[in-house]
Chain A
Amino acid sequence: MTETDGYILIALFALPLGVALLLMLLPSRERSALMAITGLSSLVLFGLSVYIFARYDYTSTEQFQGVVAWTWLENVGFLGERGIQFKVGLDGIGSAMVLLTGIVILAGTWVSWKIQRRTKDFFILLYVLVGGVYGTFVMLDMFFFFLMYETSLLPMYLLIAVWGSTRKQYGAMKLMMMLLAASILIFTGIFAIFTEAGVGTFDMEVLYAAEYSTTMQKIFFPMIALGCGTLGGMFPFHSWSPDGHAAAPTAVSMLHAGVLMKVGAFGIIRLGIQVLPEGAVYWGPALITVGIVAALYGAISALQQTDMKLMSGFSSVSHMGYVFVGLGTMNVIGMTGAVLQMFAHGIMTALFFLLIGGIYDQAHNRDITNFSGMAKQMPLWAIFFIIGSLASLGLPGLSGFIAELHIFVGAFRSYPVVGGLAILTAAITTTYLIRMGAQVFFGELSPRWTGLKELTWMERAGATVLVLSILALGLWPAPWIDRIATTLAQTIPGVSL
């Protein structure tokens, strides 16, 4: 990547924020203009994301590529020469996450055109969210990292409380307060890191190189990990996730479970493992324990749900559990698996939420026990759902398999028991997905649902993009693994092969 690509990194978050601003000025009657602007910008964002992913050069030895920086505030108060910088740059993990965001926002924009009430406001908030997410993945200054992180949370409350369904006020408030309470820990952690480093700058590259005492690392790594982990759905602070996702409108669930939860896991890597590696090694076993408990607990809870969205929400908790297991192994295979799982789960959970939204908007019902024989009524819907389920349960050839394989191998290397439990979880996952498939898709078609129509063209297009991504990672994972594994091996001190 060259410096010119750095400007594209800036465009990744400047474009959505600019679109949000543009929409504010647009009269709300202009629905076709709204669709044109959002449609075009989602395509451009997707294109830029793919371009950035392709341009990232994993053979290079530089940790961050496409670095562009301006000083933003320096020599003021406690800030030194470099102070706070507006600095962007990308590593291999970030490149995978940027691609994920591009894919999910493409599908998410298309399905959101269904919304009829205050559509403009919805898109303004949605694009602020997207801008924040992109920003978090590319910012290399801790101040701006956290600014973008909070920006992605900012619109959440309104998006859910206004346009959501099913106890939306409760879900929205719970989600917002839990996530912001978690930010307390991140906030405090950042302050501690800055103070301990004592170099007067929030520049992450400088902070990575700074020395931190072992005690300090042991105290503050868990704060960062819990703070970011809560956004990543870490057990036992995951409880906002099923309620929030059940209440959220389709595109918000897609982006939230698909991308924003990954921002949490990404934060653990960026602020936690990369800055405080000794702390990470010390707390690795705890991370694994929490992860495997989450994986099992989420899967067992999903088994008990009859609301499709709640099932998908708990399934997210379970799959994010794998991510924490992978991160806790502190070896390259396991951690590569964690990042792959972030990508794979992001895509498939977005697909699930898109499909559940597709049926809920018509039926106003998403109870598994109320449906049967839907494969006859909505064959495309059923096919997409089954592909998503197969990826989720880890069928070889699809994305989930690649990710989980890495995590299992990594876990077996460190803790064989955990590897065994992870495989047990995969079996439970299979059970709840197959059980749902058998109930919903097959059997007699209930006369109550004969009026249901197949997915709209927009939903089909969105689902197709997501399914193609699942296949791409499943069949040709090399581009992802190259980028992620080299970054991890190069940059994380204390990581073993």
Chain B
Amino acid sequence: MSDLNFNYALLLPEIILAATGGIVLLSDAFRRELKLGRNMLPWITVAGAVLATLASVAQAGIVEDFAGIVLVDAFTTFFRVLFGLTLAVVVIGSHEYVAKQIRGQGEFYTMLLFATVGASFMAMSTELITAYVGIELLSFSLYVAVSLAKSDPRSGEAGLKYVLLGGLASAILLYGLSLVYGAAGSTDYATIAKNLSEGRDGMHAPLLMGLTMVIAGLGFKASAVPFHMWTPDAYEGAPLPVTAVLSATSKAAAFAVLLRLFGGPFLPAIADWQGTIAFLAVLTMVVGNLIAIQQHNIKRLLAYSSIGQVGFMLMAIVTISDASTSAVLMHLGGYLITNLAVFMGVIAFYNQTGSEEIADMKGLAETNPFLALVIAAGLFSLAGMPLLAGFTTKFILFQAAAYGGYLWLVGVAVVASTVSLYYYLMVIKQIYVIQTDGSLLDPQAHDVVVPRWRLTWTGYLTTATLLVAMVVVGLWVAPLAHAADSAAKALFG
């Protein structure tokens, strides 16, 4: 096996992230000896995330595999940059929250860093075992991070639920992968594709079972209905920044694996899984968006809304092609920005008020108009309203599915998307329509002065950046679209 390429420089971003994890852990342990303030930890983490992002950008344009198990190409770079920036934004936006609410800050930041490493490996792996290890690295880090909240009993419960159900899903996934290995005779994506397209006698049944189990396992990680049960509880119980990572990094990584698998090795067997995924997509967007209507807690609402979003993105797997991959990557980028904007807004709100209830957001438009704008814009963007990222990327995602011949599926998606606007409007109603004392506004009366509060500078920095990014993607999507398109072309050649 001397022809394998062991160019470790290819893994530089992951090495930086993992090393930063080690540094954070050690500097937390030797804090007294090193005379480090506790507040150094988030900044070390951010530095690591930014360095890793820069390192991945520097590798743009390279197409090279490492030992035949991972591949650095435009697709990998797209996700690495996404994950690196997500990590940086989450840490900057939530370090005050973490300082107050989290037990063991060192562990917390380390877990986020390791989770990002796992996510990167999920995006870059071209071999089943490596992909599985990446998934487990991400999941284990998040199992720990979910249960790190200091005073909230829901956190431990959420962690337990997540780890039990997650373990079950991993087992199913692994069983599925081994069946696929049996049917296709390899764990290497390219070889699987070759063997499946040639077809082997008597291997159809195990392949079908394997594919179904893989879909179930990955569906759990991406929280597709009916494998979504853990999502609302884990989202609600987890500390807010972890919820943000669950809904951003973890979801995007699951899609990276789905795209690599179903756009590559499983593509020859498309007839075997297309219907299943279309069914899951319908179920996911309908159930996610309908149940979201009944929620009173903003985290649970966002959990169901993110399930609904997964349904939309699954449409791109159903109609998999370079066009739909490019569209879903673009949507993923827009969705991450939007979702993070909402989460950073909610974190800032929680830091001030200590509440996650939607009803407690009443009058926010008067007590903090800027934060009100950020959250409202984020929710409108999630609903796919124009001038914001959500409209543009969703339009292109839906059009791609329609172009792929699934107009009926798009019809369902558009209906579900309209339903989603209803529950986003319920939040916006609390923020803008209801006043702090619970009454409605009388347009003829004169202005009353309501005491205002301000965000911290990091709060302003993250929310303002994300707000601007949301508008920029909404009105000038070309840079994101071209990045997504070259990533998709890397996958489909």
Chain A interfacial positions (CB closer than 8 Å to B): 24, 28, 72-73, 75-78, 114-118, 121, 128, 132, 143, 146-148, 150-151, 154, 157-158, 161-165, 168-169, 173, 176-177, 180-181, 183-184, 187-188, 190-192, 194-195, 249, 361
Contacts and interface: CB of A to CB of B under 8 A. Distances in A.
26 contacts: A24-B373, A73-B478, A76-B326, A76-B484, A78-B327, A78-B403, A115-B443, A117-B442, A117-B446, A117-B447, A128-B387, A132-B386, A147-B387, A147-B391, A151-B387, A154-B386, A157-B428, A158-B428, A162-B432, A163-B443, A176-B425, A177-B421, A184-B414, A187-B398, A191-B410, A192-B402
B446 A194 contact: no
B399 A116 contact: no
The 6 closest A-B pairs by CB, nearest first: A191-B402, A77-B323, A77-B326, A78-B323, A150-B386, A76-B485
Nearest to A135: B386
Contacts of A191: 398-399, 402-403, 407, 410
Contacts of A163: 441, 443
Contact of A117 (B402, B411, B443): B443
B74 to A, nearest CB: 13
Given A118-B447, A151-B386, A154-B386, A184 B415 contact: yes
Interface of B: 322-324, 326-327, 365-366, 373, 380, 385-387, 391-392, 395-396, 398-400, 402-403, 407, 410-411, 414-415, 418, 421-422, 425, 428-429, 432-433, 440-447, 476-478, 481-482, 484-485, 488
A136 B429 CA distance: 27
Contacts of A361: 444
Given A147-B391, A184-B415, A187-B414, A116 B326 contact: no
A325 B324 CA distance: 41
Given A121-B365, A191-B407, A161 B445 contact: no
Contact of B395 (A121, A128, A146): A146
A188 B386 CA distance: 17
A42 to B, nearest CB: 20
A147 B345 CA distance: 26
Contact of B386 (A121, A147, A161, A249): A147
Contacts of A165: 443
Contacts of B433: 158, 161-162, 169
B400 A77 contact: yes
A187 B397 CA distance: 12
Contacts of A168: 440
Contact of B402 (A116, A164, A194): A194
Given A78-B400, A117-B445, A188-B410, A150 B391 contact: yes
Contacts of B421: 176-177, 180
Contacts of B410: 188, 191
Determine which residue in B402, B407, B445, B476 has the highest number of CB atoms from chain A within 10 A of its CB, and name it: B402
Contacts of B411: 184, 188
Given A77-B327, A191-B410, A192-B402, A180 B441 contact: no
Contacts of B478: 72-73
Contact of B407 (A176, A181, A188): A188
A154 B385 contact: yes
Given A72-B478, A183-B414, 8 more contacts: A77-B396, A77-B481, A117-B442, A146-B386, A154-B385, A163-B441, A164-B443, A188-B402
A76 B400 contact: no
Determine which residue in A76, A150, A162 has the highest number of CB atoms from chain B within 10 A of its CB, and name it: A76
Contacts of B442: 117
A162 B415 CA distance: 26
Secondary structure of the B contact surface, majority rule: helix
A145 to B, nearest CB: 11
Contacts of A162: 432-433, 441, 443
A412 to B, nearest CB: 39
Nearest to A112: B443
A471 B361 CA distance: 50
A187 B384 CA distance: 12
Secondary structure of the A contact surface, majority rule: helix
Contacts of B446: 116-117
Contacts of A78: 323, 327, 399-400, 403
A161 B326 contact: no
Contact of A184 (B391, B402, B418): B418
Contacts of B392: 147
Nearest to B425: A157
Nearest to A147: B386
B403 A158 contact: no
B369 to A, nearest CB: 8
Nearest to B433: A161
Contacts of B445: 116-117
A188 B414 contact: yes
A158 B427 CA distance: 12
A72 B446 CA distance: 45
A154 B380 contact: yes
Contacts of B485: 75-77
Contacts of A114: 444
Nearest to B327: A77
Contacts of B425: 157, 173, 176
A307 to B, nearest CB: 18
A131 B281 CA distance: 36
B396 A249 contact: no
A77 B398 contact: no
Contacts of B386: 132, 146-148, 150-151, 154
B425 to A, nearest CB: 6
Contact of B447 (A72, A116, A128, A173): A116
A195 B402 contact: yes
A168 B45 CA distance: 48
Determine which residue in A143, A162, A163 has the highest number of CB atoms from chain B within 10 A of its CB, and name it: A162
A306 B326 CA distance: 56
B311 to A, nearest CB: 16
Determine which residue in B399, B411, B477 has the highest number of CB atoms from chain A within 10 A of its CB, and name it: B399
Given A188-B407, A192-B402, A118 B441 contact: yes
Contacts of B444: 114-117, 361
B403 A194 contact: yes
A114 B445 CA distance: 10
A142 B396 CA distance: 12
B342 to A, nearest CB: 17
Contacts of B415: 181, 184
B383 to A, nearest CB: 9
Contact of B324 (A72, A77, A154, A177): A77
Contact of B443 (A116, A128, A169, A177): A116
Nearest to B385: A154
Contacts of A180: 418, 421
Nearest to B384: A150
Nearest to B396: A77
Given A117-B445, A162-B433, A188-B411, A143 B403 contact: no
Nearest to A188: B411
Contacts of A115: 443-444
Contacts of A143: 395
A465 B386 CA distance: 32
A267 to B, nearest CB: 15
A389 to B, nearest CB: 27
A177 B422 contact: yes
Contacts of A190: 399
A190 B402 CA distance: 10
A28 B366 CA distance: 11
A249 B414 contact: no
A474 to B, nearest CB: 34
A78 B326 CA distance: 9
B414 A195 contact: no
Given A151-B387, A169-B433, A177-B422, A192 B400 contact: no
